[in-house]
């Protein structure tokens, strides 16, 4: 019998090790798997390479990515919009390395990883600092650049310049869904979908928290936003546990 429902968040993040590459869904406050991130922090996991769109500013109680950054659990951050003082402080002091990726490219790289592709060409960022190289990936302690982004491969296709981008294959994904069933089928709600299905597709192991976990019934096949084979563990969020 297939049953991916776990009793609590701690049980789901048990395998996440120091140094792991972890993709995390969410955009702003919408669709951030805060319970899973809390569970990760409570396990005291460190040296993570986090892949997430935002720096996590503005979440109630500064939960989410902000907490991971504030507790210095992140060594490398792949993101498009890391706006959060907790990040910038650590970036300019050399504590955290950045891989700044245009948002659409970040989404597509996760999808490419999930789809088993070797990479793709996108017109995005062609002729900019994020493709031509030179952007500061890491500072030294004293604020001088230590590591610069190398120039990316580009190619002219039908007269237009495209940049080569490689797939992302994180070890783990932490995602937040609205509904889940025991097969791991997920359904999201409005803007909370964002990067969640993509992170789940890309990762070798995907952990989902869901507001509503159906222990007996299942989602209608046409209502599934992300099918179960992309999901390994499901846990109900505190929201549901509280009821």
Measure the CA–CA gap between 113 and 167, rounded to whole angstroms.
Answer: 4
Q: Which of residues 4-63 bind another protein (CB under 8 A)?
A: 27-31, 53, 55, 58
Instruction: Classify residue 195 by burial, with Cβ atoms within 10 Å: 0-12, 13-18, 19+.
Output: buried
* Residue 122 interacts with its own copies (CB under 8 A): yes or no: yes
Cα–Cα distance measured from residue 12 to residue 232, given in angstroms and rounded to the nearest whole number: 9
Is the Cβ of residue 6 or residue 193 nearer to its own copies in the bound state?
Answer: 193
27 strand-pairing partners: 30
Q: CA–CA distance from 217 to each of 52, 213, 221 (Å)?
A: 32, 9, 12
Contacting residues for 69 by C-beta, under 8 A, at least 6 apart: 55, 56, 77, 84, 86, 87, 90, 96
| Residue selected from 21, 56, 77, 105 as contacting another protein according to rule CB under 8 A | 105
Tokens of 165: 């981008």
Residues 172-201: x where in contact with another protein by CB under 8 A, - otherwise, as a string: ---------xxx-x--xxxxxxxxxxx--x
Q: Exactly one of 61, 116, 142, 243 binds another protein (CB under 8 A); which one?
A: 116
Find the shortest distance in angstroms from Cβ 182 to another protein. 7
Instruction: Based on the shown chain and the rule CB under 8 A, indicate whether residue 109 belongs to the binding site for its own copies.
Output: no
Q: How far is the CB of 116 from its own copies (least distance, A)?
A: 7
Q: Does 155 bind its own copies (CB under 8 A)?
A: yes
Is residue 198 within a helix (H) or strand (E), and if so which, with residue range? helix 196-202
**159 scored as a contact of its own copies (CB under 8 A):** no
> Quick check: 171 and 205 in contact, CB under 8 A?
yes
Q: Which residues would be at the binding site for its own copies (CB under 8 A)?
A: 108, 112, 115-123, 155, 157-158, 160, 162, 166, 187-190, 221-223, 225
Q: Which residues would be at the binding site for another protein (CB under 8 A)?
A: 1-2, 27-31, 53, 55, 58, 80-83, 88, 98, 100-108, 110-111, 113-117, 122-130, 135, 181-183, 185, 188-198, 201, 218-219, 221-222, 224-225, 227-230
């Amino acid at each position: 019998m297939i049953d991916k429902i776990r009793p609590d968040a701690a049980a789901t993040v048990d395998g996440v090790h120091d140094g792991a590459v972890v993709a995390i869904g969410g955009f702003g406050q919408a669709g951030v798997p805060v319970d899973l991130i809390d569970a990760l922090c409570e396990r005291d996991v460190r040296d993570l390479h986090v892949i997430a769109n935002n720096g996590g500013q503005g979440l109630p109680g500064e939960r989410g990515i902000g907490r991971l950054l504030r507790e210095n659990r992140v060594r490398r951050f792949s993101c498009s919009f890391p706006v959060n003082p907790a990040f910038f402080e650590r970036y300019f002091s050399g504590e955290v390395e950045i891989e700044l990726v245009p948002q659409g490219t970040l989404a597509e790289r996760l999808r490419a990883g999930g789809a088993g592709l070797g990479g793709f060409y996108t017109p995005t960022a062609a002729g900019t600092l994020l493709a031509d190289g030179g952007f500061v990936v890491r500072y030294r302690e004293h604020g001088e650049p230590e590591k610069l982004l190398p120039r990316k491969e580009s190619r002219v296709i039908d007269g237009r310049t495209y940049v080569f981008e490689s797939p992302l294959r994180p070890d783990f994904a932490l995602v937040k869904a609205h509904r889940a069933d025991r097969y791991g089928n997920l359904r999201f709600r409005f803007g909370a979908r964002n990067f969640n299905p993509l992170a789940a597709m890309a990762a070798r192991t995907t952990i989902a928290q869901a507001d509503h976990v159906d222990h007996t019934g299942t989602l209608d096949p046409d209502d599934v936003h992300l099918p179960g084979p992309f999901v390994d563990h499901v846990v109900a969020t505190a929201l549901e546990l509280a009821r």
